[in-house]
Structures are given as structure tokens and as C-alpha cells.
């Protein structure tokens, strides 16, 4: 979102408030309220570090320092409240983030929202062969079309059954039990900036399910980045796009550098690996190390590393 240099923070908030940014086929994220800005983070930090910090660091440098060194409490001074509309299977993952306050639409009290997430024919993903939790590639279009048609029929039938139960006077709390997990729910979701960044770090990551990543992306790009430009920039630099090197990773790098030349091939990487990995046919830590070293340009690109167990 473009912001004119003259736009004040409160004008920006007003322009975003209640605006529904679409996600998936019928979901959205929407800012309801926000308390604090980048300035509030700085203000809180200066209470800790004293006015002296004003002289040695400007606001941007201070926020970047806080982010780099995981001084997290100043980010907790900012609160954001959202209204979100999410399919229940994705909401089930979202609600695991316990540091938010939540009020969800009650399907005991009200009739369930008459909308369910539908997968378009070209978007059925194939189970990953290497990552039990993930997907890789797409099903052929003709199979996808059949699956989407079956999905439509299933959702319509379950809705008809639900409506019939209601029409016979069955309590809403019981009538809902066979509605599919694709049914949309809505909730108010309030969280501080520190915990929101933690949520985004996990849910923008490629290991998270595509659909929840779509929500995290919509929330970040449309709301968080324009409202908190300095925090967002620091978060990208020091968390989202950062690379953590473990002690074994560092040892592997040392051995590779001594062997030279670089970038090394996969055989040299295997000869430099941590001794505790070398007897294992599949080793996730080794795969992760290889991916990091490729990102650093220290090992040549090649076949994808074989990953093992993952969960959710």
C-alpha cells in the first residue's frame, strides 16, 4: 500500500480500519483497532535505556537493535485487534497461538456461516514424498475437476442435512456436528506486536500450510508493513530472512572451508558432515544444514535434500 509522505499515522489507521483484505475464496483479515506504532516501541525502550539512547541511536537504529538482540518487551507495548474470517481447519492451527485474546462466532448461539472454502480444480496439491506434513506439485487438471465437483456436492449435502436438523428444531449446538471443517468461522483476534511477529515468523514459513500462509501474508503486506514500517523492515532483516547457524553447522563450514575449493560438491559436504549424522541414512539436521550452506553459496545446488518427519 502506498502512503503519501503527508499521511499521518492516524489517517493511515483510519484508511485501514474495517477494510476487509480478501484471503482464499471467502475469507478476509481486517484491522479493527491498533494501540501504538513504531514510536510506541521506541518510547517503551527509552524508559529502559534512558534518554541517553536518543543521542546514540535514532529510532530506526534502536528498533533494529531491539529486534537483533530479541529485546522483546517494547514490542509488547503495541496491541492490534483484527476481525478474521477463516475456514475451520485453518482456524484450528491459528488458535494454537495462545498469546492472543479471541472471541469466536458461536455456532451454538447463531446459525453457522453459510460459506465453506472450496478448492479450485487446479489447486489440489499432491502429498510430498519427503515431508510428511507438506505438499509438492499439483494434481492433473481432470482429476482436480472431479475432486472439486465432489467437494461441492459434499458441502451442499452437509449443509442440507444441517438445515433440515434446524428446521426440525434440533439445537444448533448439536445440528452443527457434521458440518465440514471447510466451513468458515469469524473471530476477533487481539494480540501484541511481539506475539504477532512470532505468529508471522511461524506462519509465513514454508513449513506452514499454504492456506494459513496466505492469511499471514495478507495480514503482513496490507496491515503490518504499512503501519509499522521500521519494525517490519527489522523483522525481515533479522528474523524472516535471517539464517541461524548451529554449532554443528559452524563446524561443517569450518571443515568445508579447510577442504576447499568452494562451492563444494555434495560429496565434500557429506565428508565434512557432523560425525553424529554420518551413520544415518536420513537425517533432518543434515538436510537443514545442507540447505543453509546452499543458501550461503558454500555448497553447489543439486538434488533436493531428503527431509524426514514433520507434524501438524
To ligand FAD, the closest distance from the beta carbon of 59 in angstroms equals 26
Check 203, 254, 259, 294 and give the catalytic one.
203
User: Which of 2-10, 201-209, 215-223, 231-239 is the region at the interface with ligand FAD (rule: CB under 6 A)?
Assistant: 201-209
User: Which of 1-9, 195-203, 286-294, 296-304 is the region at the interface with ligand FAD (rule: CB under 6 A)?
Assistant: 195-203
Cα separation, 175 vs 310, whole angstroms: 35
Nearer to ligand FAD among residue 202 and residue 245 (C-beta): 202
Task: Please confirm, yes or no, whether 203 is among the known catalytic residues.
Answer: yes
Nearer to ligand FAD among residue 134 and residue 144 (C-beta): 134
Cα separation, 290 vs 273, whole angstroms: 9
Contact between 169 and 73 (Cβ < 8 Å): no
Question: What dihedral angle (degrees, nearest 10) is formed by the CA atoms of 216, 222, 224, 230?
Answer: 130
Work out which of 20, 54, 68, 96 binds ligand FAD, going by CB under 6 A: 96
HSE, CB side, 13 Å, CA atoms: give it for residue 71: 16
Told to check if 131 binds ligand FAD by CB under 6 A, we report: no
Contact between 174 and 162 (Cβ < 8 Å): no
Cα separation, 73 vs 194, whole angstroms: 7
To ligand FAD, the closest distance from the beta carbon of 133 in angstroms equals 6
The sign of the dihedral angle between the CA atoms of 127, 129, 133, 136 is negative
To ligand FAD, the closest distance from the beta carbon of 116 in angstroms equals 24
Told to check if 206 binds ligand FAD by CB under 6 A, we report: no
Told to check if 55 binds ligand FAD by CB under 6 A, we report: no
Interaction residues for ligand FAD, span 135-194 (CB under 6 A): none
Cα separation, 69 vs 243, whole angstroms: 15
Interacting residues toward ligand FAD by CB under 6 A: 96-99, 195, 198, 202, 207-208, 311-312
Active site residues: 203
Amino acid at each position: 500500500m502506498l502512503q503519501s509522505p503527508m499521511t499521518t499515522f492516524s489517517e493511515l489507521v483510519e484508511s485501514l480500519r474495517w477494510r476487509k483484505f480478501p484471503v482464499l475464496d471467502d475469507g478476509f483479515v481486517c484491522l479493527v483497532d491498533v494501540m501504538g506504532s513504531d514510536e510506541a516501541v521506541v518510547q517503551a525502550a527509552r524508559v529502559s535505556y534512558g534518554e541517553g539512547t536518543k543521542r546514540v541511536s535514532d529510532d530506526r537504529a534502536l528498533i533494529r537493535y531491539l529486534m537483533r538482540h530479541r529485546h522483546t518487551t517494547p514490542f509488547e507495548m503495541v496491541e492490534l485487534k483484527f476481525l478474521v474470517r477463516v475456514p475451520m481447519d485453518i482456524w484450528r492451527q491459528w488458535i494454537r497461538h495462545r498469546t492472543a485474546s479471541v472471541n469466536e462466532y458461536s455456532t451454538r448461539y447463531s446459525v453457522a456461516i453459510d460459506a465453506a472454502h472450496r478448492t479450485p480444480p487446479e489447486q489440489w496439491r499432491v502429498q510430498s514424498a519427503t515431508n510428511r506434513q507438506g505438499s509438492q506439485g499439483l494434481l492433473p487438471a481432470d482429476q482436480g475437476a472431479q475432486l472439486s465437483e465432489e467437494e461441492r456436492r459434499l458441502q451442499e449435502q452437509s449443509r442440507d442435512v444441517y438445515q433440515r436438523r434446524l428446521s426440525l428444531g434440533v439445537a444448533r449446538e448439536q445440528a452443527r456436528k457434521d458440518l465440514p471443517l471447510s466451513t468458515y468461522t469469524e473471530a476477533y483476534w487481539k494480540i501484541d506486536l511481539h506475539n504477532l511477529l512470532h505468529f508471522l515468523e511461524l506462519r509465513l514459513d514454508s513449513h506452514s500450510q499454504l492456506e494459513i500462509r496466505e492469511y499471514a501474508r495478507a495480514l503482513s503486506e496490507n496491515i503490518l508493513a504499512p503501519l509499522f514500517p521500521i519494525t517490519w523492515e527489522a523483522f525481515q532483516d533479522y528474523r524472516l530472512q535471517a539464517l541461524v547457524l548451529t554449532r554443528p553447522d559452524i563446524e561443517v563450514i569450518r571443515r568445508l572451508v579447510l577442504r576447499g575449493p568452494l562451492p563444494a560438491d555434495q560429496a565434500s559436504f557429506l565428508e565434512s558432515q557432523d560425525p553424529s549424522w554420518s551413520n544415518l541414512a536420513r537425517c533432518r539436521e543434515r538436510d537443514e544444514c545442507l540447505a543453509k550452506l546452499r543458501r550461503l553459496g558454500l555448497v553447489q545446488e543439486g538434488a533436493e535434500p531428503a527431509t524426514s518427519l514433520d507434524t501438524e
